[in-house]
Homo-oligomer: A and B are copies of this chain.
Amino acid sequence: MKVTFSAPGKITIFGEHAVVYGRPAIVGSIDKRIYVTMERRNDNCIKILAEDLSFKGLSIKIGDRIEVEANDRILEALKYIVKAIEIASEYINEKSGMNISISSEMPVGAGLGTSAAITVATLAAYSYILGHELSLNEIAKLGHTVELTVQGIASPMDTTISTFGGLIYLMPNVGFEQLSLNNELDLILGHVKRDESTAKMVKKVREIKERNEKIIEMIMSSIGAIAEEGKWAIIKGDVEKLGLLMNINHGLLESLGVSTKLINDMVYASRNVGAIGAKLTGAGGGGCIIALCPGRKKEVSLAIKLVGGNPMDFKLSMEGLKRHNTQLL
């Protein structure tokens, strides 16, 4: 038996980093997905094939506990697969060897929530193939546990959005609200190599905050206010305002020390050819920017390319976790 689950990546439109400190954020799932295909094996061996994620095939034997040493950003993704299998096994109280193949329509580890997408798709596929069709709520909850275990600290944001899909206004420790877009937004992603992991960037901000508690608290509140106003800009379809808020948010991320020269190059290049808003998206230290560029997608893509980034056309998409016919892959 063979099954494929896919889950979407996400962009943070407003509020990355500040959400860690209790401020609201706006995140949306996108039309770029991670696909996890599983086939049950007759032995106890987990074999992972994931050339698209730029790591070679890897075999892991399941003992009482699965352990992977991962010092490297690419092995990082594997941690989530292994931990998801471990946690799913415990939850459904069954285990089996699997051939797992993974492919991605977006760069992995670039701040697009790929670890959450890998996690929820793995949880769903593994339990499904062993006869347990978990509910979305169960998967989102287990997914958060996986991220918590791997990262030490994690908001439920990424796993929630990757499981349910949508465009949400998230208020940490309170709940989230689905927003709806009246018109499709012209958006372009720009991607550059990431130097640092999300965990490291979160730690960097924590250190800056500890040294400048009052100032950074004020900046976090400013980012929170942007997310609040951004919600209304989305509801009203005020694209100009949305762009301006993105630009302001980018500066605040810069003040937290999470932007880089290459990220700024992409931001300025995009604005220069007509993006009305451009900002880092995700934890930073490299990774991705999003540019809001009504009618100027081609120009912005080219501009991003010219400064050394990889442009990617994308849309917000409401589709969350999904099971595919096995013919798909």
User: What residues of B have a CB within 8 angstroms of the CB of A261 in the complex?
Assistant: 264-265, 268, 272
Q: Could you say which residues of chain B place their CB within 8 Å of the CB of A226?
A: 215
Among B229, B244, B251, contact of A251 (Cβ-Cβ < 8 Å): B251
A254 contacts the other chain (CB 8 A):
yes
Q: How large is the interface on A (under 10, 10 to 19, 20 to 34, 35 or more residues)?
A: 20 to 34
A215: min CB distance to chain B, Å = 5
Query: CA of A268 to CA of B257 in the docked complex: distance in angstroms?
Result: 11
Chain B hits for A256, CB < 8 A: 248, 251
Q: Please classify the interface of chain A as helix (H, G, I), strand (E, B), loop, or mixed, using the class held by over half of its residues.
A: helix
User: CB distance A225 to B218 under 8 Å?
Assistant: yes
Residues of chain B within 8 A (CB-CB) of A249 are: 255
A57–B254 Cα gap in the complex (Å)? 44
- How many copies of this chain are found per oligomer? 2
A20: B residues at CB distance < 8 A: none
Tell me the nearest residue of chain B to A262, going by C-beta.
Answer: B268
Assess A222 versus B229: contact at CB under 8 Å? Given A250-B254, A255-B254: no
Name A225's contact: one of B215, B248, B250 (CB within 8 Å): B215
Is A141 an interface residue when CB atoms closer than 8 A count as contact? no
A 206-220 contacts with B by CB, 8 A: 208, 211-212, 214-216, 218-219
Q: A99 within 8 Å of B by Cβ? A: no
8 A Cβ contacts from A247-306 to B:
247-257, 259-261, 264-265, 268, 272
**Can you name 6 A-B residue pairings with CB atoms under 8 Å?**
A212-B244, A212-B245, A219-B252, A251-B256, A252-B252, A264-B268
Instruction: List A residues at the B interface (Cβ < 8 Å).
Output: 208, 211-212, 214-216, 218-219, 221-222, 225-226, 229, 241, 244-245, 247-257, 259-261, 264-265, 268, 272
